[in-house]
Amino acid sequence: MQSRIDFYYGLGSRYSYLAASQISRFEAKFDCKFIWKPLFSGSLINLRQHNPFTHSSGQYDWGYRQRDAKLWADYYGIPFHEPKLKAIAPELLAIAVLAANRHNLLEAYSQILFKAIFAEQLEIQVDVLVQLATSLGIPKDDFQAALRSPDLQIELEQITQEASQRGAFGVPTFFVNDEMFWGNDRLVLLEHYLAQTGTLPRSVPV
């Protein structure tokens, strides 16, 4: 039986980018399907009474996290640059992905947006979001109208509430039923879990 893995992620999150690069490998290896659920991590964190990322542990030092992300990218064999996102509201990244979903291109748009942010290090502005959409064949006028749609803002809030209610406190977070795995570095535990719970490799006849 195919396992469903809910993937809550932020488009401006370095660790979401890193984790997303491994999803195709998981789906090729195991009988599983990832369901991509974009959100803005700041809104998710604000739903908690206490911010889990404000304490003074060295793990949350900005310089350490930059170095850590570069090491993970090298391990995965993918490019990594710190993002340039000061020119855009962070929520709009998730809204853009939801707009692409109206054309069944949520995953494809997420991947090219991740590439633009972290591999190409583009300065992300609204016109870049539109250009990426049109490169996938989404009509420009449709996409621009969707970016202004209050329906997508409501959808984003619903995804964020859903993630919080399930226990998520940051991104990326993966759920297999009620089993939660937080962080790119927990992918090894997710892989072990799938192997132990009968999610058969795709090469094995079912």
- The pTM of the full predicted model, rounded to 2 decimals, is 0.92
Residue 50 has pLDDT above 80, yes or no: no
Residue 58 has pLDDT above 90, yes or no: no
Q: What integer pLDDT is reported at residue 59 of this predicted model? A: 61
Superfamily of domain 3-196: Glutaredoxin (3.40.30.10)
Burial string for 168-199 (b: 16+ CB within 10 Å, else e) reads bbbbbbbbbeeebbbbbebbeebbebbeeeeb
CA distance 111 to 99: 14
Q: Do residues 168 and 42 make contact, with C-beta atoms less than 8 angstroms apart?
A: no
Q: Where are the domains of the chain?
A: 3-196
**Average pLDDT of span 68-86:** 97
Q: Tens digit of pLDDT for each residue in 164-187?
A: 999 999 999 999 999 999 999 999
In eight-state DSSP terms, residue 80 is -
Q: What integer pLDDT is reported at residue 206 of this predicted model? A: 45
- φ/ψ of residue 32, rounded to 5: -145, 160
Structure confidence at residue 192 as a pLDDT band (50, 70, 90): very high
Neighbours of 57 (CB within 10 A): 9
**Strand-pair category, 32-38 with 3-9:** parallel
Lowest mean pLDDT among 45-49, 110-114, 181-185: 45-49
